[in-house]
Chain A
Amino acid sequence: MGVFVCLPLVLPLTALPIARLAEQHLHPRIATRLLAVVGALLALCSTLCLGLLMVVGTAQLPGNPLPDGWSDPEVREAVPYEEKAGIVAIGALAAVLVACGWTVCRHLRLRIVARRALAAAPSVVSGDVAVLPDPEPYAYALPGSPGRVIVSTAMAECLDAWERRALIAHERAHLAARHHRYLLAAQLAARANPFLLPLRTAVSFSTERWADEEAACAVGDRRVVAVAVGKAALYSHRAPDVSAGFAAFAAPAGPVPRRVEALLAPVLPVRLWPPSSAHAALAALVATVGTAASALSSLNATVTLVGILHAATPL
């Protein structure tokens, strides 16, 4: 096997072209699902690969309490530079597990605390929408059962009735399609392998676009949604404490103008095949091949790993 064992660690790079091109060439629903699945698979393979390297690494630690089967010579042969790779993998795997655990904990904690804050004031909730009297403009979808749309009065006041409908429809689309799961999956994937960070940004953007399109369907006019997004963003930007926390770097174009632009442009077809652009097709192919190679490589690694564990444990 040799170096091929380590392939899943770098194969996430093959997903970068599609992460970049999906936005322009794929319907956001397809893009979100594709990117989330590809990201999750690549992250899983990368973590499995780290696991195998870790087994080799642990077996070499002097005085380790593990049975001899862990440092099977067959496995040692499979891993190049076993001494260094093994030791590095221990640290990397620990970091990945801690980061993922931390992410999940924070996700759950934020949801619980936000839910509790709402539960203390039942009067603000009507249906699935909670309007909070707050001078800072914001709107969120709080997942859970039932999910809640949280809108501040400042945000509601800066929009007219049609745009408010678009805003509510947008947040409801987040809840109905359970976008938080895609977001969490993409975030965990990025924690498992930093090469997947652009994928996370792409998933986060395409969920917003997805909800925009759903809102456009609900309201019946893409332009209303575009204006709602634009107006809300300009209004929020004026509030001094919103922009304060973010570094002001001159990006090519932020997510909000891109969303508005996409809403003013014709709608993309909801299909993956035939592809609407050769570039996107090629990028999707590269990502597919990369994911398949990664899966094969880590499957191989897993079989070896299970073999060792089977030999090492008395059961």
Chain B
Amino acid sequence: MDSARPGHPPDNEPPRDGVPAPADPPSGAVLPGGMGAGSRRLRRRGQGELESQVLAVLRSANGPATAGWVQEHLEGDLAYTTVITILSRLYAKSAVTRSREGRSYTWTSVSDEAGLAALRMRRVLDGERDRDAVLARFISALSPGDEDRLRALLARADAPDDPYNPRDTEGM
């Protein structure tokens, strides 16, 4: 368990993969966010990909796990703070829960990869008020009168004098 590195400031890490040093304040100043390296990686790999990786690792734990444990089991060397950031994001999306144990949190996954995709898609759709113009949508909203009209129409469609109804003949 690697919970003994809470004070490790990621800003002190050397720049990797030829990424030029950020034009941040001098490294002596510890920024409150302290995620320079982490956020660059997030962008490079795609936020969604990292989130599902972390979620997959957390699910493999079969129970509560610390952020340090997740970091150890993740492929690649992600900074501890990056893992914390991703876990916090997943927490905000209700994809994981957390409980305080001593000075740090333990995390438990409540949602699988598919559930996370659904959450994200829902957020995309809810964020667009005018989404009908972009995505062809199967059903649009009903006005109060529509409901009665629809029921009447469906009753007509289900009338017993159907000349041909494939659902009966082809054996659903």
Contacts and interface: CB of A to CB of B under 8 A. Distances in A.
A237 B151 CA distance: 12
Given A152-B118, A237-B147, A171 B52 contact: no
A231 B136 contact: no
Given A117-B124, A134-B121, A224-B167, A106 B134 contact: yes
Nearest to B158: A227
Interface in A208-243: 208, 211, 219-221, 223-224, 226-227, 229-234, 236-237, 242-243
A92 interface: no
Contacts of A150: 121
A128 interface: no
B117 A248 contact: no
Contacts, number: 190
Contact of B117 (A118, A184, A255): A118
A248 B143 CA distance: 6
B172 A160 contact: yes
A120 B140 contact: no
B57 to A, nearest CB: 14
Contacts of A121: 52, 113-114, 116-117
Contacts of A227: 154, 157-158
Nearest to A111: B134
A110 B172 CA distance: 37
Interface stretch (A6-14, A19-27, A53-61, A138-146): A138-146
Given A133-B115, A138-B125, A261-B153, A116 B48 contact: yes
Q: Is the interface of B mostly helix, strand, loop or mixed?
A: helix
Contacts of B131: 110
A251 B143 contact: yes
B28 interface: no
A161 B166 CA distance: 12
B48 A234 contact: no
Which of B130, B135, B151, B167 counts the most chain A CB atoms within 10 A?
B135
Contact of B164 (A137, A141, A221): A221
Contact of B133 (A139, A160, A204): A204
Interface in B117-172: 117-118, 120-122, 124-125, 128-147, 149-151, 153-154, 156-158, 162, 164-167, 172
B49 interface: yes
A101 interface: no
Contacts of A114: 121, 124-125, 135
A233 B132 contact: no
Assign chain A's interface to a size class: 35 or more
Which of B46, B125, B140, B141 counts the most chain A CB atoms within 10 A?
B141
B51 interface: yes
A174 to B, nearest CB: 4
Contacts of B48: 116-117, 119-120
Given A118-B117, A187-B133, A162 B143 contact: no
A137 B162 CA distance: 29
Nearest to A108: B134
A160 B167 contact: yes
A132 B151 CA distance: 28
B172 A141 contact: no
A50 interface: no
24 contacts: A110-B135, A114-B125, A116-B120, A117-B121, A119-B48, A133-B115, A139-B137, A139-B138, A160-B167, A161-B172, A211-B136, A221-B165, A226-B153, A229-B138, A237-B147, A246-B141, A251-B143, A251-B146, A254-B141, A254-B143, A256-B140, A257-B150, A264-B156, A264-B157
Q: Which 8 A-B pairs have the closest CB atoms?
A: A120-B48, A121-B117, A117-B120, A139-B138, A132-B118, A174-B136, A254-B146, A257-B149
